[in-house]
Amino acid sequence: MKNLLLGLAASTALASPGFAQMLDLEKDELTFGFIKLTDMAPLAVAYEQGYFLDEGLFVTLEAQANWKVLLDGVIDGQLDGAHMLAGQPLAATIGFGTEAHIITPFSMDLNGNGITVSNSVWEAMKPNIPTMDDGRPQHPISAEALAPVVEQYKSEGKSFKMGMVFPVSTHNYELRYWLAAGGLHPGYYSADNITGQIGADVLLSVTPPPQMPATLEAGTINGYCVGEPWNQQAVFKGIGVPVITDYELWKNNPEKVFGINADFAEQYPNTTLAVTKALIRAAMWLDENDNANREEAVEILSRSEYVGADAEVIANSMTGTFEYEKGDKREVPDFNVFFRYNATYPFYSDAVWYLTQMRRWGQITEPKADEWYDEVAKSVYRPDIYLEAARMLVNEDMADEADFPWDSDGYKAPTPPEDIIDGIAYDGRTPNAYLESLPIGLKGQQIVVGTEVQG
């Protein structure tokens, strides 16, 4: 297969000066996993637009049942790589849950998530939410509006339950962040208790993304945090109301990554570069010309082999809008970002934020020095691979030099307080100072012992 493709490449290159230079691939037949979410789009686009083939790669994409199955597949080699929760490579590398050294040379997107509550919870929240002149709710909506509802549940002897997709998911940390910013405690983890519900006002538990709407409709949970299209699905089905997007929670926050085993990257360096090149091209296509290709992307994603939701539901957020209640559709052009704002660059500061949240809620049980956060980030996030792939694309006239942060030290400028729901700035260079600035959560020498925080 490789020889056939090399022959085609050689003949095509004569007529196309920008044609990709073929790397000497160590492995050209690959299987990648994904979960049925809108933000798997770079994988689908790289496949459907022929970017993998341009690099000499014969790729199979396989939907996975849940995030644990997906991670296990990458660890045991059944999958060569996967669309992953950003927390998964980090957690695996530090030994929280399944232990393995997973790396990421490519960040898949920014934003893309929302927090949805049931209709009955929404009706109970509404009196606590300011309105605009036209009577619609004023966004962003703070969890302070939810606090009286949670108290009412408590007074009636009922638990208030919300779903998230995995213990080390962005969704878990974003939901916890929103709740804590509104004064509600989402609970701690400890070495002896991994439910994450120690001292919790709101009980969080795992539900796979595609099952979120049905679980909400059944009354098993009162709300959830998930990626698209499963918030918009609740609106279309008339069973729930998204109260906040993660763009409102933390403007242009990091989301999924493409994860591979560190051994894979070492054994197949050229293949890793080729994959990264194809994914960068896919991300560029998704955002180019002010999202001009999004309608085509929606059609691709709606197919059963990818997300498998109605195109109308996917388009509701993928094409630059977001519908909160039926009829309350608002412009959110950056709800899904795949390439703008250096979205694909694997920043160390993004990794550090995930690690701070693991420490904040007790998944990292002991205090760690700032240097530890930096070392872990650099062992998992690999901008060196990313920039080598980007340089090849620039040299092949397939990307613009100005679109990549060549001189970055891997850390973004601090996120200003006005871009985060609680008004607290984030600087990835000073993780412990950041943890100290958060009113709810572990900091300093604190640890969870039994049901108590000590230290």
Whole-angstrom distance, CA of residue 242 vs CA of residue 313: 14
For residue 321, give the nearest of 251, 213, 245 by alpha carbon. 245
Q: Which residues pair with residue 261 across a beta bridge?
A: 102
| 103 and 121 together in one domain | no
Neighbour count for residue 211 (Cβ, 10 Å): 17
Residue 228 pLDDT level (bands cut at 50, 70, 90) = very high
In a domain, 222, yes or no: yes
- Output the domain CATH number for residue 179: 3.40.190.10
Mean pLDDT to the nearest integer, 292-304: 98
> How far from 176 is each of 120, 205, 219, 241, 251, CA to CA, in Å?
21, 12, 21, 18, 16
Beta strands in 175-239 (DSSP E): 203-206, 223-227
Whole-angstrom distance, CA of residue 339 vs CA of residue 109: 7
The three-class DSSP label of residue 172 is helix
| 102 and 215 together in one domain | no
Share of the chain above pLDDT 90, in %: 95
Q: In the predicted model, is pLDDT for residue 373 greater than 70?
A: yes
pLDDT at 183: 98
| 162 and 95 together in one domain | no
| 9 and 101 together in one domain | yes
In a domain, 429, yes or no: no
* 403-425 per-position pLDDT tens digit: 999 999 999 999 999 999 999 99
| 229 and 198 together in one domain | yes
| 289 and 246 together in one domain | no
Residue 2 pLDDT level (bands cut at 50, 70, 90) = very low
In a domain, 171, yes or no: yes
Q: Are 343 and 335 in contact (CB under 8 A)?
A: no
| 76 and 127 together in one domain | no
* 302-357 per-position pLDDT tens digit: 999 999 999 999 999 999 999 999 999 999 999 999 999 999 999 999 999 999 99
pLDDT at 98: 87
| 202 and 247 together in one domain | yes
Q: In the predicted model, is pLDDT for residue 13 greater than 60?
A: no
Q: In the predicted model, is pLDDT for residue 12 greater than 90?
A: no
* 178-208 per-position pLDDT tens digit: 999 999 999 999 999 999 999 999 999 999 9
| 235 and 148 together in one domain | yes
What are 370's two structure tokens? Answer: 């700032």
The three-class DSSP label of residue 375 is helix
Residue 106 pLDDT level (bands cut at 50, 70, 90) = very high
Neighbour count for residue 24 (Cβ, 10 Å): 10
In a domain, 370, yes or no: no
pLDDT at 9: 43
Domain count, the chain: 2
Q: In the predicted model, is pLDDT for residue 57 greater than 50?
A: yes
pLDDT at 91: 97
In a domain, 454, yes or no: no
Per DSSP, 364 falls in state S
Q: In the predicted model, is pLDDT for residue 127 greater than 80?
A: yes
Residue 19 pLDDT level (bands cut at 50, 70, 90) = low
In a domain, 422, yes or no: no
In a domain, 127, yes or no: yes
| 263 and 395 together in one domain | yes
| 389 and 269 together in one domain | yes
DSSP, residue by residue, 297-349: HHHHHTSTTTT-S-HHHHHHHHTSEEESSTT-EEE-TTSEESSGGGTTS--HH
Q: In the predicted model, is pLDDT for residue 3 greater than 80?
A: no
Q: In the predicted model, is pLDDT for residue 17 greater than 70?
A: no
Domain holding 24, by residue range, is 2-111+255-346+382-403
pLDDT at 236: 96
For residue 434, give the nearest of 410, 415, 406, 455 by alpha carbon. 415
Whole-angstrom distance, CA of residue 227 vs CA of residue 141: 18
Whole-angstrom distance, CA of residue 297 vs CA of residue 45: 7
- Of 251, 282, 307, at which residue does a domain stop? 251
| 127 and 207 together in one domain | yes
In a domain, 210, yes or no: yes
